[in-house]
Amino acid sequence: MDVVWGKNLTSFAVGDVLAILERQRDIAYTTVMTTVTRLYEKGILERERDGKRYLYSPKLTREEFLLSTAREVLDEAVGGHQAMAMLAEKVSEASAGELDDLEALIQKRREELA
């Protein structure tokens, strides 16, 4: 979905996603097709037949998707102990790797937009 949203693909075939992903790493057509089919089965993508293939399109924007999952994500929220409004609560050192991942994600988006 990151590829679909990031590249703003409004109508695409499995081959379109494969072409984008192949530029980043080796990946098999069947892997992409399985993933896309699962996303369709979960109701995140919709599809229509176009000759012998399917054309997929996202049912939700990234924001709508995040809002729809907000409940389960925020179920994991742990309250801060400061009685003041902080930009962000400090996380434990154990989570440093996750912060690196988030930074990489932001950087990737910046490069995509550039």
Q: Which is nearer to another protein, 23 or 90 (CB)?
A: 90
Residue 79 beta carbon to another protein: minimum distance, rounded to whole angstroms: 4
Residue 6 CB neighbour total at 10 angstroms: 14
- Which residues would be at the binding site for another protein (CB under 8 A)? 5-6, 8, 61-64, 66-68, 70-71, 73-96, 98-99, 102-103, 105-106, 109-110, 113
Identity of the amino acid at 56? Y
Q: What's the min distance (Å) between Cβ of 29 and another protein?
A: 27
Output the smallest distance, CB 59 to another protein, in A.
12
Rounded Cα–Cα distance for residues 4 and 77 (Å): 28
**At a CB cut-off of 8 Å and minimum separation 6, what does 109 contact?**
6
